[in-house]
Amino acid sequence: MISTSGLIKKYGRTLALQGLDINVPEGAVYGFIGRNGAGKTTTLRILAGLLIPDAGRAEVAGRDVLRDPRGVREVVGYMPDFFGVYDDLRVGEYLLFYAAAYGIRGATAQKLRDDLLELVELGHKRDAFVDTLSRGMQQRLCLARSLIHDPKVLLLDEPASGLDPLARVEMREILRELCRLGKTIIISSHILSELADLCTHVGMISEGRLLRQGPLNEMLAGDRVRKFILRSNGPARAAVEVIEGWPGAAVLNAADEQVEFRMSGDAAEVAGLLKGIIGAGAEVVHFAQTEQSLEDTFIQLAREVQEQ
């Protein structure tokens, strides 16, 4: 549904994208993960037709963003990370204005307005002025605006930024509903735990390059590195020393009686490490592998890139 190949974008001397290749299948919810300045917003703006890449190609629903920008606008709904609203318009008028800008008028537009306001749970605010809405409500209104022309693809740049926990949950529920409606969605976000709940696919980007992409399950299960937690009876200093000296292992977090570490290798190697820790005099009371999170995977990949 969405693909880019060799996408390059420069801002002056800064290289924002360095040959980015992403591939988003139809109906996927694609989590676009990366640090600030990694190139997420630039990519989304190129896909929305707001920026022209310096090199490379990008296609949305089979339409080239460079050659057929009008066609791309037909199928894309875009929600930027920072956006404003016309504070002198009412909620209903705001949606009708954008409906007219998409060529939708009359009774169709009014029905669409009411349906979308129901979808984002703002039906009761139809006659309120936009500037009286809370941040979360404005985010939902902006999402409704991006859906006004029934796009196949949604590009959501940090849709949950600045929201309180409750508003985030509400936004997540709306996005789930949109998944059920069959939209292909790209979400860029820093809040990786939420993406893990929502996404079917993930792409990790760093310094304008794609680190890894694929279905979420494969990304998490296929990881070579695992994370462990160890608790000891008394200070875990001896255990920390053994782990730090063990090839392929690294301490992530060490408290008085608890150590978190990651380690690559098979079961025999893990057993060998545990034997070594006990042999060093640590009284181990708990030793377990913890579930690898999206955040762990991203941090690990980012570290690998830095080390390279």
**Is residue 135 involved in binding another protein (CB under 8 A)?**
no
Q: How far is the CB of 195 from another protein (least distance, A)?
A: 23
- Cα dist. 190→24, 94, 177, 194, 297 in Å? 19, 29, 21, 9, 14
Task: Return the residue of 49, 159, 203, 208 that touches another protein, per CB under 8 A.
Answer: 49
Stretch that binds another protein, among 91-99, 165-173, 266-274, 284-292 (CB under 8 A): 91-99
**Is residue 30 involved in binding another protein (CB under 8 A)?**
no
- Please say whether the beta carbons of 155 and 79 come within 8 A: yes
**Is residue 12 involved in binding another protein (CB under 8 A)?**
no
Helices (H), the chain: 40-47, 69-75, 91-101, 106-119, 135-146, 165-180, 192-198, 216-221, 237-245, 267-279, 294-307
Cβ-based nearer residue to another protein, 154 or 204: 154
Q: How far is the CB of 275 from another protein (least distance, A)?
A: 59
Task: Return the residue of 1, 28, 48, 198 that touches another protein, per CB under 8 A.
Answer: 48
Q: How far is the CB of 78 from another protein (least distance, A)?
A: 5
Stretch that binds another protein, among 14-22, 74-82, 119-127, 278-286 (CB under 8 A): 74-82
- Please say whether the beta carbons of 114 and 127 come within 8 A: no
DSSP 265: S
Cβ-based nearer residue to another protein, 55 or 181: 55
Q: How far is the CB of 258 from another protein (least distance, A)?
A: 46
What is the C-alpha to C-alpha distance for residues 263 and 287, in angstroms, rounded to an integer? 13
What is the C-alpha to C-alpha distance for residues 126 and 103, in angstroms, rounded to an integer? 21
Q: How far is the CB of 19 from another protein (least distance, A)?
A: 16
- Please say whether the beta carbons of 154 and 178 come within 8 A: yes
Cβ-based nearer residue to another protein, 89 or 252: 89
Task: Return the residue of 35, 67, 135, 275 that touches another protein, per CB under 8 A.
Answer: 67
Q: How far is the CB of 228 from another protein (least distance, A)?
A: 46
Task: Return the residue of 11, 100, 118, 279 that touches another protein, per CB under 8 A.
Answer: 100
Alpha carbon 94 to chain centroid distance? 28
**Is residue 66 involved in binding another protein (CB under 8 A)?**
yes
What is the C-alpha to C-alpha distance for residues 152 and 150, in angstroms, rounded to an integer? 7
Q: For residue 226, what is the enclosing H or E element?
A: strand 225-232
Extract long-range pairs of 12-18: CB within 8 Å, 24+ residues apart: 15/208, 16/42, 16/208, 17/42, 17/43, 17/46, 17/53, 17/56, 17/208, 18/207, 18/208, 18/209
Q: Which residues bind another protein (CB under 8 A)?
A: 45, 48-53, 66-67, 69-70, 73-74, 76, 78, 80, 82-86, 88-89, 93, 97-98, 100-103, 142, 145, 149
